[in-house]
C-alpha cells in the first residue's frame, strides 16, 4: 500500500472517529435538551383517612401510589424484564440486537410484528414524548433513552418505569395495580401475580383479568415461560405456576358517591387554609386525616335517596345537611344535595333565609346575656306596629304576655320581635357577628330570619355549636392533619375559641331548646337521643301556605347539625309544603343511626350553672276555709286551710277583704296549705282568699273562693 493510500485510509479513519465523536456529542447535548427531570416526578394519588388511620378513599387524577424499587420483590422485577426487555442490564438504553431481530422478522412477514423498544425507551416515550409516530419522535426516543442511562442507575430507571406504566381500570403504577387486582401491597405479590401484572402493560384492556380472564391467563403463562427461558424459574416451577387459575380480588378505588360532598369540601379547605390547589392535592400523594365518620356519612347519603323522608307532593325537593363534632368542630358528615354532583351546587354552603332558627342566636340568648332577662321573664305578645312592620304569630293567637321560655318553645313571632326591639338591633347583630353570621340587614325582621341573603347550613351549624359548647365559638374543619408523600406533617387544624355567651346562658338556651323538641314546634319524628333544637320556615308569598325554606338546627351532647329543605329556585310550581316537619323528622332519623361512640344519654349540667326550673302551675284553690282557733296574741287566731298544689314551689298570697270592693295582701306562705292570722279582732272578723303565685314569672294565678271565718271548733 502506497503512502498515498495509507494517508487516505488514515484520514478516513480519523474522519470516522471524528464523526462518531460528533454524533455522540450530539446525542449527549440533544438528550440533555429534551430530558426534563421535572417530568419524571409522577402524579401520585392522595389518601383520605379517618382519625383511626383507616383508608376512606383515594383522591387522584391518575390512581398511582409511588413505591421504591426496594419494595418490589425480585421475582416481580424479573417478570417484567423477562417479557419486556431481557437484556435490560446489558444495554445502554438501546438494544441493537433486539432491533436487528425485530427488523429481520418484520422483513420476513412483510409487516411490523415485533418492536425492539427497551424498558428505558418505553420510559422515555411515556414520559417525555407525544404519541405521534414520526421518524423524529423515534430519534428523540433513542437520544433520551441513552441519556437516561447516563444519568440514572438501572434500579432507578426500573423504579421510574414500574411506577409510571398503566395497568388498566384506572390503575397507574405497580402499587395501584397490586391494590386493584389483588387488594394487597406490592411487597406481598406472589410469582404468578407478578407475572400477571407484567402481562398487562402491552395491552391493559385486552389482557384485563377482570374483563378477559382466559386471555389474561394465556398472557400470564407466556410471561412465566419467558421467565423460565431466561433462567428465573425452573421448568418445574413454571409448569406448576402455569397450572394455577386466575384469582382476582378486585378492590374498587373509585370515589364513593356518598363521599363526593365531603371530598369537595376537603379540596376547598386545602386550597383556602393551606394554599394547596385542587390539582396538587389530586396528584401530590398527600395523606389527609379527616374527622368523617364513614358509617354516619353513608347513613346520611342513603336517607337522602329515600323519598319517604321528603314531602310526597314535592318529589324534586332538594336538601342539605352538615353534622359536626360538638367538642372539636370537626365535620362528621356532609351532604350537599340529594343527587350531588362533584363540583356542582353544594347546598351545604348555599345561603338561604334561616327563618326562626335565628331566634335563639339573635334574640333570646343575647337577651339572657344582658342579665335583665331570664327564662321566665314576661314578654309582650300582641300585634305591634313598628313603623309599618307588624309581625304576627303563625297561629294568630295572642296572650298579651308570655314567658320567654314559651315564646321560644312555641316559636312565637310577636314576642321575639318585641324583645329584639327592646334589646336593640345592633346588639343582636353584634352577637351574630361573633357567631360568624354577618348580615347587612338592619330591620327588626332579623328576629324572624327575614334577611336579604341569609346563612348557610354550615354557618348555622357552627353557630349552634356555640350553644352546645358552653357558649364558646370556634370554626369548623374538614382536615384534621395533612402529610406530604414523605410523611411530613404540613398542616393541622387549630382550634381558636372565643366566648360569645356565658355558660349559664348556653345552658338555659339548651334546656329551652329541649322543650322545643319535646312539646313545641320540633315534635315531629322520634329519636332516643337527647336533643335540643329549633325549627324554621320562610314563607313563599306567591302561593298561600307555600314554604320557601324549611329548617331544623339542633344538637345532642356530641353532635350538632343543620338540615335544610327547599328548591334551588322557588316558583309557583316548585314550592315546599309541610314546613319544618320533614327536616325535623329526618334529622331525628339520622340521629338514630349515630355510631356508638357518638351516642349519649343526657345533657350534663356543670355544677357552676343553675338548672332551668320547670314552670309552676298556678291551679285555682276552691276549698279555702277560715276558722277561729285557740292561740295567738289575743287568745284566738284565724286559721286558713286549703288543699295545696303538689308543686311545693307554689307560693300563696293571703288576702283580706277590707270592704265590698277591696282587699289587701296580709302575708304569704310557700308550699303549704295553711296560714295563721294571729292578730285579730274577734268582734270584727273579715273574709279571706288566697292566690297562687309564680316567683319565676312574678305572676299571680286565679283567686280562690272567698271564705268567711267560722266559730271556734267549727261553730
Q: Are 641 and 582 within one domain?
A: no
Indicate whether 592 and 698 sit together in one domain. no
* Burial grade of 268 (CB within 10 A; 0-12, 13-18, 19 or more): middle
Domain that holds residue 678: 625-714
Express each pLDDT in 216-274 by its tens digit: 999 999 999 999 999 999 999 999 999 999 888 777 655 689 999 999 999 999 999 99
Mean pLDDT, range 366-375, rounded to an integer: 97
pLDDT of 116: 58
119 domain residue, yes or no: yes
pLDDT band at 529 (very low <50, low <70, confident <90, very high): very high
pTM of the model: 0.80
- Predicted pLDDT at 28: 47
Confidence grade of residue 692 (pLDDT, cut at 50, 70, 90): very high
At 309-333, the pLDDT tens digits run 999 877 789 999 999 999 999 999 9
DSSP string covering 341-409, please? -TTS--TTS--B--GGGGHIIIIIHHHHHTSS--TT-EEEES---BTTB----TT----EEEEHHHHHH
- Residue 108: band (very low, low, confident or very high) from pLDDT cuts 50, 70, 90: low
Q: In terms of domains, do 646 and 570 share one?
A: no
Q: Is residue 684 part of a domain?
A: yes
Same domain, 215 and 147: yes
Q: Point out the domain boundary residue: 223, 242, 261.
A: 242
What would the pLDDT profile of 19-44 be if each residue is shown by its tens digit?
Answer: 544 454 454 444 444 566 666 767 78
The mean predicted confidence, pLDDT, of the chain is 89
Q: Lowest-confidence range among 102-116, 157-171, 352-366?
A: 102-116
Last residue of a domain, one of 224, 242, 260: 242
pLDDT score recorded for residue 61: 82
Marked catalytic residue, from 78, 84, 529, 589: 84
- Please report whether residue 236 resides in a domain: yes
Domains of the chain: total? 3
Question: Considering 242, 265, 286, which residue would you say is the last residue of a domain?
Answer: 242
CATH number of the CATH domain containing 125: 1.10.3810.10
| Digit-coded pLDDT (tens) for 468-486 | 999 999 999 999 999 998 8
Our CA angle for 417, 422, 427, nearest 5°, is 90
Is residue 84 flagged as an active site residue? yes
Does 554 reside within a domain?
Answer: yes
Would you state the pLDDT for residue 133? 56
Looking at residue 34, its pLDDT comes to 58
pLDDT more than 90, % of the chain: 72
- The Cα–Cα gap between 589 and 362 comes to 28
More confident residue, 14 or 308: 308
Q: What size, in residues, is the chain? A: 715
The residues, any chain, with a CB within 8 Å of residue 151's CB and separated by 6 or more, are 35
- The burial class, CB within 10 Å (0-12 / 13-18 / 19+), for 179 is buried
pLDDT given for residue 113 in this prediction: 43
CATH code assigned at 640: 2.60.40.10
| Spatial separation of the C-alpha atoms in residues 445 and 358, rounded to whole Å | 11
Say whether both 538 and 672 belong to one domain.
Answer: no
Distance between CA 385 and CA 369 in Å, rounded?
A: 27
Pairing of β 63-64 and β 171-172? parallel
pLDDT in tens, 420-472: 999 999 999 999 999 999 999 999 999 999 999 999 999 999 999 999 999 99
Average pLDDT value for residue range 300-306: 97
Q: Is the pLDDT of residue 112 over 50?
A: no
Q: Determine the pLDDT at residue 62.
A: 81
Give the active site residue among 45, 208, 356, 627: 356
Amino acid at each position: 500500500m502506497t503512502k498515498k493510500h495509507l494517508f487516505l485510509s488514515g484520514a478516513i479513519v480519523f474522519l470516522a472517529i471524528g464523526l462518531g465523536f460528533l454524533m455522540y456529542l450530539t446525542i449527549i447535548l440533544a438528550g440533555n435538551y429534551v430530558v426534563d427531570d421535572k417530568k419524571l416526578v409522577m402524579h401520585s394519588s392522595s389518601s383520605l383517612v379517618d382519625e383511626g388511620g383507616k383508608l376512606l378513599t383515594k383522591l387522584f387524577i391518575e390512581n398511582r401510589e409511588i413505591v421504591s424499587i426496594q419494595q418490589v420483590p425480585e421475582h416481580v422485577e424479573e417478570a417484567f424484564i423477562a417479557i419486556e426487555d431481557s437484556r435490560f442490564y446489558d444495554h445502554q438504553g438501546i438494544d441493537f440486537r433486539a432491533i436487528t431481530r425485530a427488523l429481520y422478522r418484520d422483513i420476513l412477514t412483510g409487516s411490523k410484528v415485533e418492536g425492539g423498544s427497551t424498558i428505558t425507551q418505553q420510559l422515555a416515550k411515556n414520559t417525555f414524548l407525544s404519541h405521534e409516530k414520526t421518524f423524529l419522535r423515534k430519534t428523540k426516543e433513542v437520544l433520551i433513552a441513552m441519556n437516561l442511562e447516563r444519568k440514572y442507575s438501572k434500579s432507578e430507571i426500573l423504579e421510574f418505569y414500574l411506577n409510571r406504566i398503566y395497568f388498566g381500570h384506572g390503575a397507574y403504577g405497580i402499587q395501584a395495580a397490586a391494590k386493584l387486582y389483588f387488594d394487597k401491597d406490592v411487597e406481598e405479590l406472589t410469582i404468578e401475580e407478578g407475572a400477571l401484572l407484567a402481562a398487562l402493560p402491552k395491552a391493559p384492556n385486552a389482557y384485563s383479568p377482570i374483563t378477559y380472564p382466559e386471555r389474561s391467563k394465556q398472557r400470564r403463562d407466556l410471561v412465566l415461560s419467558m421467565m423460565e427461558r431466561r433462567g428465573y424459574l425452573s421448568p418445574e416451577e413454571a409448569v406448576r405456576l402455569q397450572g394455577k387459575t386466575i384469582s382476582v380480588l378486585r378492590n374498587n378505588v373509585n370515589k364513593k358517591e356518598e363521599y363526593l360532598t365531603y371530598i369537595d369540601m376537603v379540596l376547598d379547605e386545602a386550597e383556602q387554609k393551606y394554599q394547596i390547589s385542587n390539582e396538587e392535592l389530586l396528584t401530590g400523594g398527600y395523606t389527609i386525616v379527616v374527622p368523617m365518620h364513614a358509617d354516619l356519612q353513608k347513613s346520611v347519603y342513603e336517607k337522602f335517596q329515600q323519598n319517604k323522608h321528603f314531602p310526597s307532593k314535592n318529589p324534586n325537593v332538594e336538601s342539605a345537611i352538615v353534622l359536626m363534632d360538638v367538642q372539636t368542630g370537626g365535620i362528621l358528615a356532609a351532604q350537599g344535595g340529594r343527587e350531588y354532583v362533584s363540583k356542582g351546587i353544594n347546598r351545604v354552603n348555599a345561603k338561604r333565609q334561616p327563618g326562626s332558627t335565628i331566634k335563639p342566636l339573635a334574640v333570646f340568648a343575647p337577651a339572657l346575656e344582658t342579665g335583665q332577662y331570664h327564662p321566665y321573664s314576661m314578654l309582650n305578645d300582641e300585634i305591634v306596629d313598628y313603623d309599618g312592620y307588624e309581625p304576627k304569630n303563625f297561629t294568630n293567637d295572642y296572650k298579651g304576655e308570655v314567658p320567654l321560655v314559651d315564646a321560644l318553645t312555641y316559636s312565637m313571632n310577636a314576642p321575639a320581635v318585641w324583645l329584639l326591639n327592646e334589646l336593640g338591633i345592633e346588639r343582636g347583630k353584634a352577637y351574630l357577628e361573633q357567631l360568624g353570621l354577618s348580615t347587612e340587614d338592619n330591620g327588626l325582621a332579623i328576629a324572624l330570619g327575614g334577611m336579604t341573603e341569609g346563612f348557610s347550613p354550615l354557618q348555622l351549624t357552627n353557630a349552634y355549636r356555640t350553644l352546645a359548647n358552653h357558649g364558646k365559638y370556634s370554626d369548623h374543619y374538614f382536615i384534621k392533619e395533612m402529610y406530604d408523600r414523605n410523611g411530613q406533617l404540613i398542616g393541622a387544624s387549630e382550634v381558636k375559641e372565643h366566648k360569645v355567651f356565658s355558660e349559664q346562658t348556653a345552658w338555659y338556651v339548651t334546656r329551652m331548646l329541649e322543650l322545643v323538641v319535646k312539646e313545641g314546634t320540633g315534635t315531629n319524628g322520634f329519636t332516643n337521643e337527647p336533643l335540643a333544637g329549633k325549627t324554621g320556615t320562610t314563607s313563599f308569598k306567591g302561593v298561600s301556605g307555600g314554604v320557601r325554606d324549611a329548617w331544623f338546627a339542633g344538637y345532642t351532647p356530641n353532635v350538632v347539625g343543620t338540615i335544610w329543605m327547599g328548591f334551588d329556585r322557588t316558583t309557583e310550581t316548585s314550592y315546599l309544603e309541610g314546613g319544618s316537619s320533614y327536616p325535623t323528622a329526618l334529622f331525628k332519623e339520622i340521629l338514630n343511626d349515630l355510631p356508638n361512640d357518638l351516642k349519649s344519654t343526657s345533657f350534663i349540667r356543670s355544677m357552676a350553672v343553675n338548672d332551668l326550673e320547670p314552670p309552676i302551675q298556678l291551679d285555682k284553690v276552691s276549698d279555702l276555709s277560715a276558722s277561729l282557733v285557740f292561740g295567738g296574741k289575743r287568745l284566738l287566731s284565724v286559721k286558713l286551710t286549703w288543699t295545696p298544689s303538689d308543686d311545693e314551689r307554689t307560693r300563696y298570697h293571703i288576702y283580706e277583704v277590707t270592704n265590698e270592693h277591696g282587699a289587701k295582701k296580709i302575708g304569704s306562705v310557700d308550699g303549704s296549705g295553711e296560714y295563721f292570722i294571729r292578730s285579730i279582732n274577734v268582734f270584727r272578723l273579715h273574709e279571706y282568699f288566697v292566690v297562687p303565685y309564680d316567683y319565676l314569672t312574678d305572676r299571680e294565678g286565679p283567686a280562690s273562693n272567698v271564705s268567711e271565718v267560722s266559730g271556734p271548733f267549727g261553730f
